[in-house]
Amino acid sequence: MTLELPSSQWADYELIDSGDGEKLERFGPYCLRRPEPKALWGKSLPESQWQKLTHTWFRPGAGFGKAGKEDSGTWDRLQKMEDQWYIRYPGSAGRPARNDGPSFQLRLGLTSFKHVGVFPEQAPNWEYIYKNTRELVQQARKTSGGDGAAPVKVLNLFAYTGAASLAAKAAGADVTHLDSVRQVVTWARGNMEYSKMDGIRWVVEDALKFARREAKRGNVYQGIILDPPAYGHGPDGEKWKLDECLFEMLRQVAAILAPENSFMVLNLYSNGFSATLGETVVREAFCLPKASTAATGKNAAFQLESGELALSDRNGKILPLSIFVRLRR
């Protein structure tokens, strides 16, 4: 298991401080104060400094602590700021001499569920998606002898505002972006356009229904990304509960992921999930050997890795936020 963090050289994002159930973050020019249940330690900065730096403070509402509604509340603006603004993810931040990472723009905004349109701890996944997609694109071109190569198809499920979709698109993939909420798909389309990209396929659909349909059609993808919520609803009222649906979701993903020259990225935010649990459910869904991390012979070789995605504040306190499992074969 590994611990991965965004580059400290990402100029448009910083976790300033964390503790006492909160986090103070800077997104571009603005500092946001939000609840963070995993920040079990004390703050490093005094309350007066938090208040001085904060542009807007998220106040939890009546649903705080209730399953599916724990993030509801309102924003209390303490300083003047825009309703919407953009930040840039430069790709391979801190390594300007190496043009080997995704670069895109993301529009941010204040929502009633404390989210702002990006989960910055996901940056290592964006880098992984870009790197592996680019390798598959280059391999396809080399095999075909030029630009006539078959497209590398990447499917982003539970895709939210599309940072992972943009990472895959920047690497040359044919990207399908799926989310059950039309508003966030529209948000993602705006991010694509502002990043001067095009050609992403947009789908408003229940992820499990879509994966089942693709499996019946015999469609396959060279890359599949999943970032499922703990709870959710499809566009036609379909209910999603992570504990009940994850294994079936992964079984369907296994059916539509190409058996060779492919990758899968799974991200999980549920507090009750560990990297070991995530890796085990992936092994079982994909029928991978349990005693080894590599298989050869009749089956294609594969690499399976898992770990935590985290943020580090100015005082070096590590805030773990999600677990990931990545499969490459």
Q: What is the secondary structure of 29-80 as a DSSP string?
A: TEEEEEE-TT--S--SS-HHHHHHH-SEEEEE-TTTTSTTTTT-EEEEE-S-
Same domain, 221 and 300: yes
> pLDDT per residue over 173-199, tens digit each?
999 999 999 999 999 999 999 999 999
Of the listed ranges 50-64, 167-181, 239-253, the one predicted with least confidence? 50-64
Residues 267 and 124 in one domain: yes
Task: Name residue 12's beta-bridge partners.
Answer: none
Q: What does the pLDDT average to over 11-27?
A: 98
CA distances from 40 to 224, 294, 322 (A): 34, 38, 16
Verify that 99 and 212 share a domain, yes or no.
no
130 and 105 in one domain? no
What is the distance between the terminal CA atoms of the chain, rounded to a whole angstrom? Answer: 19
CA–CA separation, 132 vs 146, rounded Å? 19
Is 115 among the domain residues? Answer: no
Mean pLDDT over residues 133-161, rounded?
91
Instruction: Provide the phi-psi class of 114: left if phi over 0, else alpha when psi is between -120 and 50, else beta.
Output: left
Number of domains in the chain: 2
CA atoms of 161 and 105, how far apart (whole Å): 11
Which amino acid, one-letter code, is at 291? A
Query: Residue 194: what pLDDT?
Result: 97
Q: Measure the CA–CA gap between 136 and 123, rounded to whole angstroms.
A: 20
**Of 74, 109, 144, which closes a domain?**
109
**Is 20 part of a structural domain of the chain?**
yes
Looking at 78, 109, 140, which one is the last position of a domain?
109
Check whether residue 160 and residue 34 sit in a common domain: no
Task: Give the pLDDT confidence score for residue 16 in this predicted structure.
Answer: 98
Contact 220, 152 (CB under 8 A): no
pLDDT bin (cut points 50, 70, 90) of residue 134 is very high
The reported pLDDT for the residue numbered 191 is: 98
The verdict on 155 and 264 lying in the same domain is yes
| pLDDT value of residue 69 | 53
In a domain, 213, yes or no: yes
Q: What are phi and psi of 317, to 5 degrees?
A: -75, 130
Q: Which of 109, 134, 168 is the last residue of a domain?
A: 109
Give the global pTM: 0.92
% the chain with pLDDT above 70: 91
Q: How far is CA 316 from CA 8, 15, 44, 324, in A?
A: 11, 10, 10, 22
Which pLDDT score is estimated for 66?
A: 54
For residue 73, the domain's CATH number is 2.60.40.1180
Regarding whether 297 and 162 lie in a shared domain, the answer is: yes
Residue 19 and residue 45 in contact, taking contact as beta carbons nearer than 8 Å: no
Residue 222 and residue 256: Cα distance in Å, rounded? 9
Q: At what angle do helices 163-170 and 123-144 cross, to 10 degrees?
A: 30
CB 240 within 8 A of CB 229: yes
Looking at the fold, whether 81 and 124 belong to one and the same domain comes out as: no
Q: Is residue 114 part of a domain?
A: no
Over residues 272-280, mean pLDDT: 93
State how far the Cα of 280 lies from the Cα of 65, in Å rounded to an integer.
29
CATH number, domain with residue 188: 3.40.50.150
Q: Are residues 125 and 80 in the same domain?
A: no
Do 72 and 157 share a domain, yes or no? Answer: no
| Residue 238 sits in the same domain as residue 291 | yes
Let me know whether 199 and 225 are in one domain: yes
Structural domain of 32: 2-109
Question: Six-digit token pair at 212?
Answer: 């089942």
d(CA 194, CA 180): 22
* pLDDT, averaged across the chain: 91
Q: What average pLDDT does this structure show over 232-259?
A: 91
